[in-house]
Chains A and B, each alone.
Chain A
Amino acid sequence: MAAGSKTESSVKARAELALNDEFLRKAVRFTTERLRGGKKKASEEHGNWEEWRERGKQIRLHTIAHLDYYLNLFVDNARSNGVHVHFANTGEEAVKLSLDIAQHASAKSVVKSKSMVSEELHLNHALESIGIEAVETDLGEYIIQLAGEMPSHIVIPAIHKNRYQIADLLSKEAGYTLPPDTTALAGFVRKKLREKFLEAEIGMTGCNFAIAETGSIVLFENEGNARMVTTVPKTQITLMGMERIIPSWEDLEVMATLLPRSATGQKLTMYMSGITGPRREKDGDGPDEMHIIIVDNGRSLQLGDPEFQELLNCIRCGACLNACPVYRHIGGHAYGSTYSGPIGAVLTPSLNKNIAEWDDIANASSLCGACYEACPVKIPLHDMLVYLRRRKVESGNGNKLESLGMQGFATVMGNSSRLGGVLRLGKLGQKLVVRSGVIKTKLGPLKGWNTYRVTPSLPKESFRDRWNTLDQELKQELRQMDPAMQRRMEELVKKREQERKDGKGGNGHHG
């Protein structure tokens, strides 16, 4: 999303689109449930989770509070390692730098591993506009790139596609028909992308953490594609948010404890790589030339802001998405921006500083606090959503309804008789997190929550109680999914659990 721009439809409309897609809804629910369960299990098994969260938070707070020192140290050290470091205040500058580097490398193709910053910049389009092929190499990202879509989950971008749709997409790419079999499909991608890795002049990555004291970047992944793009091509470009810094390798132990467990329930991702500069003179592989582009693009706006600075502590694990009842209902596409779920609801307007335009995203939250409880670095996202709405009102964008925080609601529900119905429904309270039938056809779940939140005569019951109801309903719906698909998914999970008990096979977490 270019800064300031906004997709045409509101969250409400996008949510309805999402809600009408049965597969998406069910797949999102199934996946988030699985990841949430994985996280719970992994954090309990590890133990002392609260102490680890607190430590993670303190390290992030400390680093951001001294960001001028640590970022500067990182830059100096990375340069000493032989890296070409660049600064981009805006997304446009980052794109311009990337294109300049690509042209000087006479690149015909760029292989990319997962990078949220690159999504933020819409870099693939820019590369293609100057005739350079950009290939996403993370399996899920590759699939949605072929489909011409946006990721719907930060960790599992293609959860909204089933294997038949994926087989169709890949068959088109292959020029022959592939069976809708996961192993065959992944096998095709392995072979296809092998060629791409070996051909590409440039490998492009994101950056999970950057270690100030040694100028190293750290990448977490399961597939090996980030290792590919940092090992095979001659030139490496790493796009890095300016806040990715941690002081030391010692601090990385805390992040490595929190991130994989929170994201997928793994003890560690299959690969964790620390890259310190381009290949050494005598090394037989690794990039000859390495660039790091440090991107601001709205991040520094949070610095010094007592209400939002902690946003920069985010380690992009996606746990808040999996915990969020709204996300689990509508999926990532409904948010209409690069970052979805609770973190997206706060981050998108904050990075863009156009609170008014993105207001309906902030309303796509139940303020239940599940996101805060899930967050491994304890970012008070639910508080931030409230601040965001207050600022929106303070910025003078509110009419009377908006002053109650009802903007998105009022826009859609302009019709007074329907509005009356909504308000009645809100007062009824109990029916709020209603059987989805009612909500879907009449109001959409967002409107239901909106109503509940903003109606002045609120029922006494806490949202936590309601959340439990909703949680049960989500599980209920999970039980109502297409029996064949559900059976297949459950069998897979069971099989993996059994294998784990037997001490072989996978533990069922994401790659």
Chain B
Amino acid sequence: MAKGGTGIMADTHKEWLERLEAESRKKQELFMNDIAAKLRHPRMTEKPQHPFRGSPDFWKAFEWSVEERIEAFTDNFLSVGGHVARLETMEEAKRFMVEKAEEMSAKYVIRQNQPELADLDLEGALPESQVSVWNTDPGQYWRARAAEADFGIVIADHAVAYTGSVTVLSAEHKGRSVSLLPTVLIIIIPVDRLKTRLGEVLSAFDEAGRENLPAGIHFISGPSRSSDIENDLTIGVHGPGIVYALLVG
């Protein structure tokens, strides 16, 4: 273990990490053996029977119709201070966003680098605003670009009606910062991605398996909030304070 103070380490960062890993692997065995001993069984290496996996069966059978899902999602999202618009086409979504950007004088807009968003040509529709596209220039400090943005625009990967939540997954073209750092967040939700229960979205991650999961999976259920000062609700503490969910389709 390096002794503190100088900031100059005798070993390279990589060597240090390797040393930590070797220590950790040794300790892992002791740690697990100790747990097994305290539980008074031999080290378990086979997957145990898990008869209570996931939600109760009655819940797994529960499903709403599309219209019910839209209604429940809308009610839930509104109840926490979010905004919802029900739109037919992406063209309508574009019109909605352009109007909002003009109404609020959004100077900086950042969007995910997705073809559905590129097709909207927001860049052309918002000549007064600077529209950046996530992670298109490796020289750029993208987190700062997102932090200064008035609008962040993303497309939901999934949504859940029962909890009023939207799920966004990180990828090369989809920054986590875009749904987090701007003042206003606009989430486009294709209606066919709106599920009834949280479990429908979660079990998809089990099915996908570890290797296929992105680094960041984020469920967003409304604007950032806190009641830490005298129980008084404050919106927009760290994350976006204004959130629009656009249900499209």
Chain A positions near chain B (C-beta within 8 angstroms) = 27, 30-31, 34, 48, 51-52, 55, 58-59, 62, 65-69, 71-72, 75, 77, 80-81, 84-87, 89, 96, 99-100, 103-104, 106, 130, 137-140, 143, 156-159, 161-163, 166, 182-183, 185-186, 189-190, 193-194, 198, 213-216, 222-225, 227-228, 230-232, 242, 247-254, 256-257, 266-280, 282-286, 294, 296, 300, 303-304, 488-489, 492-493, 496, 500, 503-511
| CB within 8 Å for A193 and B198 given contacts A68-B32, A103-B4, A166-B229 | no
B53 / chain A contacts, CB cutoff of 8 Å: 59, 247-248, 250-251
When the two chains form their complex, are residues A232 and B222 in contact, meaning their CB atoms are under 8 A apart? Answer: no
When the two chains form their complex, are residues B231 and A31 in contact, meaning their CB atoms are under 8 A apart? Answer: yes
Instruction: Give complex CA distance A232, B175 in Å.
Output: 11
When the two chains form their complex, are residues B180 and A275 in contact, meaning their CB atoms are under 8 A apart? Answer: no
When the two chains form their complex, are residues B197 and A284 in contact, meaning their CB atoms are under 8 A apart? Answer: no
> A250-B199, A268-B198 are known contacts; what are 6 more A-B pairs with Cβ within 8 Å?
A86-B27, A190-B237, A223-B224, A253-B197, A268-B163, A271-B219
When the two chains form their complex, are residues B234 and A186 in contact, meaning their CB atoms are under 8 A apart? Answer: yes
B100 contacts the other chain (Cβ, under 8 Å)?
A: no
B215 / chain A contacts, CB cutoff of 8 Å: 275-280, 283, 286
A277 / chain B contacts, CB cutoff of 8 Å: 215
A sample of 12 inter-chain contacts (CB < 8 A) reads A58-B52, A68-B33, A85-B24, A104-B2, A227-B238, A231-B176, A267-B162, A270-B222, A270-B225, A274-B218, A511-B226, A511-B228
When the two chains form their complex, are residues B16 and A104 in contact, meaning their CB atoms are under 8 A apart? Answer: yes
B9 contacts the other chain (Cβ, under 8 Å)?
A: yes
| CB within 8 Å for A137 and B238 given contacts A66-B48, A278-B215 | yes
Q: Which of B27, B32, B78, B228 contacts A156 (CB 8 A)?
A: B228
B170 contacts the other chain (Cβ, under 8 Å)?
A: yes
When the two chains form their complex, are residues B210 and A300 in contact, meaning their CB atoms are under 8 A apart? Answer: no
When the two chains form their complex, are residues B202 and A250 in contact, meaning their CB atoms are under 8 A apart? Answer: yes
When the two chains form their complex, are residues B216 and A268 in contact, meaning their CB atoms are under 8 A apart? Answer: no
Kindly name the residue among B5, B224, B238 whose own CB sees the greatest number of chain A CB atoms within 10 A: B238
Q: Which of A230, A252, A511 contacts B202 (CB 8 A)?
A: A252
When the two chains form their complex, are residues B5 and A130 in contact, meaning their CB atoms are under 8 A apart? Answer: yes
A164 CB, min distance to chain B CBs, angstroms: 10
| CB within 8 Å for A198 and B238 given contacts A250-B203, A270-B221, A492-B231 | no
| CB within 8 Å for A214 and B44 given contacts A253-B199, A257-B55 | no
Q: How many residues of B contact A (CB 8 A)?
A: 100
When the two chains form their complex, are residues A271 and B16 in contact, meaning their CB atoms are under 8 A apart? Answer: no
| CB within 8 Å for A274 and B217 given contacts A69-B44, A96-B1 | yes
B61 contacts the other chain (Cβ, under 8 Å)?
A: no
Q: Which of B164, B214, B238 contacts A280 (CB 8 A)?
A: B214
When the two chains form their complex, are residues A139 and B226 in contact, meaning their CB atoms are under 8 A apart? Answer: yes
When the two chains form their complex, are residues B24 and A87 in contact, meaning their CB atoms are under 8 A apart? Answer: yes
When the two chains form their complex, are residues B233 and A223 in contact, meaning their CB atoms are under 8 A apart? Answer: no
B45 contacts the other chain (Cβ, under 8 Å)?
A: yes
When the two chains form their complex, are residues A492 and B216 in contact, meaning their CB atoms are under 8 A apart? Answer: no
B118 contacts the other chain (Cβ, under 8 Å)?
A: no
Q: Chain A residue with minimal CB distance to B238?
A: A224
When the two chains form their complex, are residues A193 and B80 in contact, meaning their CB atoms are under 8 A apart? Answer: no
When the two chains form their complex, are residues B237 and A189 in contact, meaning their CB atoms are under 8 A apart? Answer: yes
When the two chains form their complex, are residues B163 and A249 in contact, meaning their CB atoms are under 8 A apart? Answer: no
A269 / chain B contacts, CB cutoff of 8 Å: 221
A-B pairs, 6 with minimum CB distance: A224-B239, A511-B226, A140-B228, A250-B54, A284-B135, A511-B225
When the two chains form their complex, are residues A68 and B39 in contact, meaning their CB atoms are under 8 A apart? Answer: yes
When the two chains form their complex, are residues B210 and A67 in contact, meaning their CB atoms are under 8 A apart? Answer: no
Q: Which of A27, A69, A198, A303 contacts B47 (CB 8 A)?
A: A69
When the two chains form their complex, are residues A104 and B9 in contact, meaning their CB atoms are under 8 A apart? Answer: yes
Instruction: Give complex CA distance A5, B51 in Å.
Output: 42
Q: Which of B123-131, B139-147, B151-159 contacts A (4 or more CB under 8 A)?
A: B139-147
B115 contacts the other chain (Cβ, under 8 Å)?
A: no
| CB within 8 Å for A185 and B229 given contacts A231-B177, A270-B224 | yes
B35 CB, min distance to chain A CBs, angstroms: 4
Instruction: Give complex CA distance A30, B80 in Å.
Output: 21
Instruction: Give complex CA distance A285, B146 in Å.
Output: 11
When the two chains form their complex, are residues A87 and B172 in contact, meaning their CB atoms are under 8 A apart? Answer: no
| CB within 8 Å for A223 and B238 given contacts A69-B44, A87-B31 | yes
When the two chains form their complex, are residues B176 and A214 in contact, meaning their CB atoms are under 8 A apart? Answer: no
B48 / chain A contacts, CB cutoff of 8 Å: 62, 66, 69
Q: Convert B167-200 into 0s and 1s, putting 1 for each residue whose CB lies closer than 8 angstroms to a CB of A.
A: 0001110011100100000000000000001110
When the two chains form their complex, are residues B209 and A214 in contact, meaning their CB atoms are under 8 A apart? Answer: yes
| CB within 8 Å for A222 and B143 given contacts A85-B24, A227-B176 | no
Kindly name the residue among A86, A100, A273, A284 whose own CB sees the greatest number of chain B CB atoms within 10 A: A284
Instruction: Give complex CA distance A301, B18 in Å.
Output: 30
| CB within 8 Å for A504 and B78 given contacts A62-B50, A223-B238 | yes
B66 contacts the other chain (Cβ, under 8 Å)?
A: no
Q: Which of B135, B165, B206 contacts A249 (CB 8 A)?
A: B206
B103 contacts the other chain (Cβ, under 8 Å)?
A: no
B202 / chain A contacts, CB cutoff of 8 Å: 249-250, 252-253, 256
A468 CB, min distance to chain B CBs, angstroms: 25
B40 / chain A contacts, CB cutoff of 8 Å: 304
Instruction: Give complex CA distance A81, B209 in Å.
Output: 12
A271 CB, min distance to chain B CBs, angstroms: 6
Q: Which of B147, B210, B232 contacts A215 (CB 8 A)?
A: B210
Q: Chain B residue with minimal CB distance to A275?
A: B216
| CB within 8 Å for A232 and B177 given contacts A68-B36, A183-B234, A304-B39 | yes
Instruction: Give complex CA distance A183, B227 in Å.
Output: 11
| CB within 8 Å for A55 and B56 given contacts A87-B28, A268-B198, A276-B215 | yes
A68 CB, min distance to chain B CBs, angstroms: 4
Q: Chain A residue with minimal CB distance to B74?
A: A503
| CB within 8 Å for A270 and B223 given contacts A55-B55, A214-B209 | yes
Instruction: Give complex CA distance A106, B5 in Å.
Output: 10
When the two chains form their complex, are residues B234 and A59 in contact, meaning their CB atoms are under 8 A apart? Answer: no
Instruction: Give complex CA distance A509, B232 in Å.
Output: 9
When the two chains form their complex, are residues B206 and A250 in contact, meaning their CB atoms are under 8 A apart? Answer: yes
